């Protein structure tokens, strides 16, 4: 049972990825029924439902990070490609996306159990995006990265709710969201085409860390 419990986040991740579970089917009772757990096992191993679902979200962030890295191109300078890949991921995996960007977690409790670490795929992805925006010439990479993600998140939400193609109904919601995402990237990262290449450690790794500013 211990091995099965430890594999719980990966099993839920695969089910959400394949559409065998949906975001609205992730109550403690439903998750335990899917995994064959008792609620006692869930709380013993993960502390809470949040603990297990945070693990699922981190697997999803790793998947998204690999996609964005590939979309950035060999020189790491294709900001519109990164924006498009973000939107395509959110539209393709709405239940995973909801766990990553919409679920409200009890972060204090997760940190207390060591489940919200600085080395998590989600934070590594965020640091990589900040570094990428900085390489594109931003003087305020942290704020610009927030604007970038906020805009992309809004476009994913519009596409999933059928509102992205308002005013252009002959275009699909996904295509309209992708077009706007690419435009957003060009506005926030105007120097992307001439940015210096960013070296990465290995294929599939998260985007590189941002450099710390000197005091």
Structure tokens at 69: 């890295």
Rounded mean pLDDT of the chain?
A: 86
Q: Which residues contact 104 (CB under 8 A, 6 or more apart)?
A: none
Distance between CA 137 and CA 35 in Å, rounded? Answer: 47
Confidence grade of residue 43 (pLDDT, cut at 50, 70, 90): very high
The SS3 assignment for 174 reads helix
User: Which H helix or E strand runs over 206?
Assistant: none
Parse the chain into domains and list their residue ranges. Answer: 60-194
Burial class for 34, CB neighbours closer than 10 Å (0-12, 13-18, 19+): middle
Q: Please give the pLDDT value at position 118.
A: 83
Residues 164-183 have pLDDT tens digits of 998 888 899 999 999 999 99
pTM: 0.84
Residues 44-59 have pLDDT tens digits of 999 999 999 999 999 9
- As a whole number, mean pLDDT of residues 144-157 equals 97
In this structure, of 20-29, 138-147, 193-202, the range with the lowest mean pLDDT score is 193-202
Q: Is the pLDDT of residue 130 over 90?
A: yes
Q: Is the pLDDT of residue 207 over 60?
A: no
Q: Please give the pLDDT value at position 213.
A: 40
Instruction: Say if residues 86 and 22 touch (Cβ distance below 8 Å).
Output: no
Q: What is the 3-state secondary structure (H, E, C) of 51-109?
A: HHHHHHHHHHHHHHHHHHHHHCCCCCCCHHHHHHHHHHHHHHCHHHHHHHHCCCCCHHH
- As a whole number, mean pLDDT of residues 108-114 equals 90
Positive or negative: CA dihedral 110, 114, 117, 119 = negative
Eight-class DSSP state of 93 = -
In CATH terms, 60-194 corresponds, of 2.60.40.420, 1.10.10.60, 1.10.357.10, 1.10.3720.10, to: 1.10.357.10
């Amino acid at each position: 049972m211990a091995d099965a419990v430890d594999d719980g986040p990966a099993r839920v991740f695969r089910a959400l990825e394949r559409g065998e579970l949906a975001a609205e089917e992730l109550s403690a009772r439903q998750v335990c029924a899917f995994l064959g757990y008792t609620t006692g096992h869930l709380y013993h191993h993960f502390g809470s439902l949040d603990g297990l679902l945070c693990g699922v979200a981190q697997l999803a962030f790793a998947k998204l990070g690999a996609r964005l890295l590939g979309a950035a191109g060999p020189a790491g300078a294709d900001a519109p490609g990164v924006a498009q890949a973000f939107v395509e991921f959110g539209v393709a995996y709405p239940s995973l996306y909801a766990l990553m960007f919409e679920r409200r977690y009890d972060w204090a409790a997760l940190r207390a159990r060591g489940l919200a670490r600085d080395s998590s795929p989600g934070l590594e992805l965020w640091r990589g995006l900040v570094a990428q925006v900085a390489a594109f010439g931003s003087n305020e990479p942290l704020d610009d990265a927030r604007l970038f993600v906020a805009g992309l998140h809004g476009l994913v939400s519009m596409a999933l709710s059928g509102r992205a193609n308002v005013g252009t109904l002959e275009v699909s919601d996904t295509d309209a969201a992708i077009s706007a995402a690419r435009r957003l990237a060009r506005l926030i990262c105007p120097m992307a085409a001439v940015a210096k290449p960013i070296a990465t450690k290995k294929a599939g790794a998260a985007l590189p860390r941002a450099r710390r500013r000197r005091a």
